[in-house]
Structures are given as C-alpha cells and as structure tokens.
Amino acid sequence: MAESKLFTKTAAGLGQVEYLLTNLYIPLAEVEREIPWPKGERFENDAEHSFSLAIIGASLGEKYGLNPSKIALYASFHDIHEHISGDTSLLDDEGRQTKKQREAEAIKTLEVNFQSTPLVATALKAYESQIDEESRFVYALDKLLATMMVVQDGGRIWKKHGLTFEDYAQKFGESQRLKIAAHPLVLGWYEELWKKIEARKDELFVPSDVELKKPTVVGVVGIEPTTKRL
C-alpha cells in the first residue's frame, strides 16, 4: 500500500483524513469483485459492496431486534483488508487456496499501517471472531447478497463460466447454504432465493445439454477485472 505523498500513517489533523482517504477508501473502491453490476458494463467494487451490506443489514437487523450500529460497523469493515489481499471470487478455485493466508497477512499490515486509527483493524477482527449475533448476521447476509446480485444481473457471470444449474448446485449450492446457516433468519431468505434460482435456471445458467469451454479469464461484455491479488 503506497502512502500519501503529503501525509504519513502517523499524521494528525487534516493529514489523518488524507491518509485514510488515499490509503483506505480509494484503494478499497478500486477492488473489483467478480460480481457484474446488474445490466451494466462494469463490476461491483468493494466499497459499493460494503455500503450495500451496511445499509441493508442495519435496516433489516433493527427490524428483527439486532443492533443496527454493530451491523453497520461490521459490514463497513468486513472486507477492509481486501485492498491489500485482493477479493477472492467464489468461482476462483486457485485463489481460494491462498485466501486465508493472504487475508491473515493483510490484517497484520492493517495493524501496522493504521496504528493511529486502530478501529480499522479491530472492527475487522471483531467481525471475523463471529462471537455475537450481529457478526454472524452480517456474515450470512454477505453471502446472500452476492448471490442475489448475480441473479439481478441475469446470471451473466455463471454463464460466462459455462455453469449449468446442476454444476452450480453441486459445487456451490450446499456449501453456500452451510455458510449462510450462520444466521437462521438469513438462511430462510436463502431458501426462498434458491427456489427462485431453480425456477429461473434456464435463464440464469447454460443449458445442461450444451458444453461450453470455461474461460480462464472472465469479463463482462468486453471488460475484464483489473484488480490483482497482491
């Protein structure tokens, strides 16, 4: 992570605002997820994803008796390390093998680079501890929203990978369900979503009787993901 030319991680006053803007927020917004923006020509980025998780999570959490402030905090920081480690797509088998190691190293880097604003690392670690209901709610909702974004986009990324409904169900369906089971309320929503996916499988996936060569690099309508893992 490059430091601001004007300010450093030990800056005070306006300098600390500049440091967080240029070394935390802007880099986070430059991390592209392998989630196409619905009906658009680009990918969702980590800043947009975190914001959607925070506002949707806090709104729904408060409705069901959870602490909306905790939910908003966890959601805002849950992927904050990805401007260092990079995002790892569910469809990226190779990246998933090194995900835990890269993210653990990224958290250590956060602790060093944001010593004057320790919340950056402590909020992330509190979320990852999964010790309270709010953190588990955010964890489950995170997985649900990612799937819903693909459905909103008509399954373009699944079709780009040449996935049939049967492929997806076998490789990801149950594993995603087990993760989302971290919170029973979100699990119920996932069961509803799964029924919708199954009902729309001919639209969201490639036909079962058609064999497509799965691409090694996936783009959306002529664009390619630009963020690389560090």
User: Is residue 48 scored above 60 in pLDDT?
Assistant: yes
User: Is residue 188 scored above 70 in pLDDT?
Assistant: yes
Please report the pLDDT score of residue 171 as a whole number. 87
pLDDT in tens, 9-19: 566 688 889 99
User: Is residue 95 scored above 70 in pLDDT?
Assistant: no
The CATH-assigned architecture of domain 14-33+42-129 is Orthogonal Bundle (1.10)
Tell me which residue of 132, 144, 136, 130 sits closest to 177, measured CA to CA: 144
User: Is residue 6 scored above 50 in pLDDT?
Assistant: no
Please report the pLDDT score of residue 103 as a whole number. 74
Please report the pLDDT score of residue 208 as a whole number. 84
Using a 10 angstrom Cβ sphere, with 0-12 exposed, 13-18 middle and 19 or more buried, the burial of residue 7 is buried
pLDDT in tens, 206-229: 998 765 454 444 444 444 444 433
Domain boundaries, the chain: 14-33+42-129, 132-215
Mean pLDDT to the nearest integer, 105-111: 87
C-alpha radius of gyration, the chain, whole number: 18
Distance separating alpha carbons of residues 196 and 38, to the nearest angstrom: 17
